[in-house]
Structure 1
Amino acid sequence: MDPNLLKQLNVERAARQACAVVIDLADGRDRLVKKADSSAVQGPLGVAVQVALRSGKSSIFETEGRYFFINAHVPALRIVVIGAVHISQALVQIARAVGYSIEIIDPRTAFATAERFPDVDLHAEWPEDYLKNHPLDAYTAMVAVTHDPKIDDTALIEALIANCLYVGALGSRKTHEKRVERLIAAGVSAPAIERIASPIGLDIGAASPGEIAVAIMAQIIEALRRHDGA
């Protein structure tokens, strides 16, 4: 690989930006295609590159007798949970079981303790302070479960601005109606608010914290796979 191309690739990966290295197998020539620029690649090859960027799957593609290796580089899913609650404890275990990284943010130091969350990426900070230096992106799933507007609302707004892959918030339909009123008052558009999954999780009749965590993880996976175009 060309050293300059490798340098560009590393910059994109560090910034959690999807991209693909397209290699012409006939002559070895390669080029970096960023997701934002993928529409500029014309014809069937361009379609194949866009599919690879959605799915994260590398493949060999043939068109008009020419073969290309499309090496996709897509950021791993990041789950950010607002609230160090019982649901979060269960969600940590489930997320790890299916291979996803997860971090917990909660300014309430009585909840955000190493004893309750051993070996977890835990941050006893206000979401707006932590996210300032650890911004959200389109490959992040945001889960807000404190049930406290002072903590959840700012994080939800940040998630919608960042176009997070998944945005979910704990609460009943009545609670969500009040949330919608607050977010509209804060300047969030109605179409953006509609992206929030609330009540959170797939409707499987979940009752206990563990069952709610299962429903949340299932809904995140559903959002991820549908985003992939599967």
Structure 2
Amino acid sequence: MHPSDHDRIPEIALDWHRTGRGAALATVVETWGSAPRAAGSQLAVSGAGEIMGSVSGGCVEGAVVTEALDALADGRPRLLTFGVSDDTAFEVGLACGGTIRVLVEPVGAGPQALAEPLLDGLVAARAARQAVAVATDLTTWARRLVAPTDAPPGIAARFRSDRSGVEGAEFVAIHNPPLRLVVVGAVHIAQALVPMARLAGYDPVLVDPREAFGSAARFPGERILHDWPDEALAALGLDARTAVVTLTHDPKIDDPAILTALASDVFYLGCLGSSRTNAKRVDRLAAAGVGPAALARIHAPVGLAIGARSPAEIAVSVLAEMTQVLRQG
């Protein structure tokens, strides 16, 4: 398994089902107290008892696997409730106990099972970076895929807040596209920022037309694009789950990326440079026809003002500011 497989639970369940190994999906539906995983967290279980993902800190997975194997045997979903005692919570690193409800669904063709075509539609939407929700009626087990454009107000609000949960009789599992970070400029700060962003759950892409900078030797294992930034960003398809950070100081490289980002819905655009450098940048962009509202979207000098000096400290400040904008607006 690849380290990122913990983010590919529906894909893994579909693959296990299609290869004849059997698969069940367990999903956290609701939590109370200090439950270790949020609603929407998932665990895939194969017919052989293999697991990927988690629905707790390890304290209820054994029971969920047993129920998942039973669900595969009888073809029926079940809604489980677990109370995590203080002692057990302490053993898995929690401060105190909590309660979670877990939906366990066998993948298959039975009348109450999670149908393969619906799971396939979910996986296809995720591959295309299209937001989608799975709405499951917890009384009839009827399921449907819901796009943001077709979502009623309650589900629409859940898309915006990236929060799964119960709406009336339905459990709504939100599947927003993964967070993505596009770093323009394969400089020393990028060498710290890219791996930090990956640890924080981002899918990073590095853009630099200078192949000597954006080399596999300097960024082993990373996705590197050597196109001009405006072309690279347009091809990537920027969206509201994407952050863009420019780091080169070179207007020939940074400015086309900034203009492309400002024409999109990226949630964060940060640009390296001093206040003086940024003032010159703003003048250039304004002369190119960028209005005040768009210019106000630029975070520059990039990162929170924490007194950062080293490349790693600057990367920490950038990631912190990205997180602040993502979570607080």
Which TM class, normalised by the smaller chain length? 0.7 to 0.9
Say yes or no: does 1:35 pair with 2:148.
Answer: yes
Shift of the alpha carbon at 1:5?
Answer: 5.1
CA shift at 1:51, angstroms?
3.5
Q: Does 1:131 align with 2:244?
A: no
**Runs of 4+ with >6 A deviation:** none
Where does structure 2 lack aligned partners over 5 or more consecutive residues?
1-113
Give the letter aligned to residue 207 of structure 2.
I
Superposition CA RMSD, Å: 2.0
Question: Partners of 1:112 and 1:192 in 2: how far apart?
Answer: 29
Instruction: From 322, 325, 328, give the equivalent of 1:220.
Output: 322
For residues 210 and 8 of structure 1, the distance between their equivalents in structure 2, rounded to whole angstroms, comes to: 40
Deviation at residue 96 of structure 1 after TM alignment: 2.5
Matched, 1:96 2:198: yes
Counterpart residue number, 1:184: 286
* Aligned counterpart in structure 1 of residue 244 of structure 2, from 142, 146, 149: 142
* Greater share of helix: 1
Length, aligned pairs only: 216
User: Is residue 308–residue 314 contact of structure 2 (8 Å, CA) maintained in 1?
Assistant: yes
Counterpart of 1:212 in structure 2: which amino acid? I
Q: Which runs of 5+ in 1 are unaligned?
A: none
8 Å CA contact 2:132, 2:175 repeated in 1: yes
Q: Match of 1:216, SS?
A: helix
Structure 2 residue 158 is the aligned partner of structure 1 residue 52: yes
Describe the superposition over 1:131-156 as per-residue Cα deviations: whole angstroms up to 9, x where unpaired.
23222111111000001111111111
1:6 deviation in Å?
4.9
Letter matched to residue 28 of structure 1? W
Q: Give TM-score scaled by structure 2 length.
A: 0.61
Give, in whole Å, the separation in 2 of the partners of 1:59 and 1:76.
19
Q: Is the 8 A contact 2:179 2:201 kept in 1?
A: no
Who is 1:208 aligned against?
310
SS for the counterpart of 1:17 is coil
1:147-167, CA deviations, whole angstroms, 9 ceiling, x for partnerless residues? 111111111111121110110
Q: Find the aligned partners of 2:248 and 2:194 in 1 and give their Cα distance.
A: 15
Question: Could you say which structure has the larger radius of gyration?
Answer: 2
Conserved 8 A contact 2:184-2:257: yes
Counterpart CA distance in 2 for 1:151 and 1:88 is 15
Kindly state the Cα deviation for residue 11 of structure 1 after the two structures are TM-superposed: 4.6
Does 2:119 correspond to 1:17? Answer: no
Give the share of equivalent positions with the same residue, in percent: 47
Whole-Å separation in 2 of the counterparts to 1:85 and 1:21: 41
Measured after TM superposition, the shift of residue 124 of structure 1 is 2.1
Q: Tell me if 1:79 matches 2:181.
A: yes
- Rounded Cα–Cα distance in structure 1 between residues aligned with 2:222 and 2:172: 35
Query: Could you tell me the TM-score, scaled by structure 1's length?
Result: 0.85
Q: Is the 8 A contact 1:17 1:35 kept in 2?
A: no
Tell me which of the two structures has the higher relative contact order, counting C-alpha pairs closer than 8 angstroms and 6 or more residues apart.
1
Q: The residue matched to 1:156 in structure 2 has which SS? A: helix
